[in-house]
Structure 1
């Protein structure tokens, strides 16, 4: 097989391999893009759950504070009733205080669970945010790699001998100047040679030329 055809087949094969790599890169890019969307959706849901858990925890703490105020009021009623000798009223106020204290204890236990759930959702959000950042970084790198593979595949599919890039204008001008230079040099040399022959054939002209040079030199010294 001629070398030209071997080179052509080699470049075609390289181009096919580069194109296959680009296709696989496109598929990987789509998969990464799908995963990014899935993680982003999960992150959106986790943030909503975290916000809801925080709202429940805050509401629970506010309820605990309100119960603490009511417990204080009930105990104040107990003390006032005892001071006035109203045993029945003191007993009723004491029962209210016990009931409120039990409810507050239950709210405190629920608050601990709500705080734990809030921390869990916060951890999930943090993990998903980190995952999303890494996926986006991988996607940026993959897109840059795919662009490079496409460019390499395009270059590999060029015909043998085809210039990969247009010749710059200044390079073309310099090359043309080099081509013209020998001719121009030959013409100048021919003119000098012709002038020398003319001078040698006419001695009087040589004398006149030397005289003109002396006159010019003397005029410059003045």
Structure 2
């Protein structure tokens, strides 16, 4: 596969992923629209079923009427034959033949309407059952979606609290460290001040002759000479 073919494939893959992401994000909205479309389709099917039932009933009524007419004209034909009126009997027979032809057509039409009605009734019933199950499943999915969003929100809040507490603990430790450093500096400064004060006080006492300032170089030399002479 050439590099350009791979690029084209990657672009198609990216477009497919983007399309799937859009579908996933809008899944509930798409489901709701599909259910509305199914409801509309079901309503149209019921309307068509109503029309077929009406036509089937009219055809059945016409079939019944034609059968009644045939029975009636059969009686007329028999009466004409009984009276020996063959001409009238032939005319009645032609009428009967026309009625029988019309009856065959109406019976076929009525059967066609009845077959369509039965098939459409099954389709409508199956569609209603499927749509009912679909609506129940969508309701369940919606409820689950609400619960999961609530759980996600709670988890996010807990995550935020944990992060804030961790940050607060870090800040507290830094503050403790700084305070310890300042305390050490204060202690060192205090010790240094005390040491300076002691040195200054010793110097003043020595200068006043209150305390012995220690032997001077001259004193040490005199002591050595005396020791030598002795």
Question: What runs of 5+ residues in structure 2 fail to find an aligned partner?
Answer: 1-21, 164-230
Q: TM-score, normalised by structure 1?
A: 0.59
User: Who is 2:72 aligned against?
Assistant: 73
The 5 Å alignment of 1:86-101 reads 86-101=85-100
Is this contact kept in 2: 1:39–1:132, CA < 8 A? yes
TM-superposition CA deviations, 1:59-105 (whole Å, max 9, x none): 11110010011111111111111222211111101110111011111
Q: Distance in 1 between matches of 2:131 and 2:86?
A: 66
Question: What runs of 5+ residues in structure 1 fail to find an aligned partner?
Answer: 1-22, 163-222
1:142 equivalenced with 2:141 (yes/no): yes
User: Who is 1:48 aligned against?
Assistant: 47
In structure 2, the residue corresponding to 1:157 is in which secondary structure? helix
Q: Distance in 2 between matches of 1:118 and 1:85?
A: 48
The CA deviation at 1:36 is 0.7
User: Who is 1:160 aligned against?
Assistant: 161
Is this contact kept in 2: 1:36–1:132, CA < 8 A? yes
Is this contact kept in 2: 1:50–1:121, CA < 8 A? yes
Q: Distance in 1 between matches of 2:108 and 2:88?
A: 31
Computing the radius of gyration from Cα coordinates, the structure with the larger value is: 2
1:109 equivalenced with 2:99 (yes/no): no
Q: TM-score, normalised by structure 2?
A: 0.57
Coordinate RMSD, CA, aligned: 2.0
The CA deviation at 1:53 is 1.1
In structure 1, the residue corresponding to 2:26 is in which secondary structure? helix
The 5 Å alignment of 1:168-187 reads none
Is this contact kept in 2: 1:25–1:142, CA < 8 A? no
Question: RCO greater where, 1 or 2, for CA within 8 Å and sep 6 or more?
Answer: 1
1:84 equivalenced with 2:90 (yes/no): no
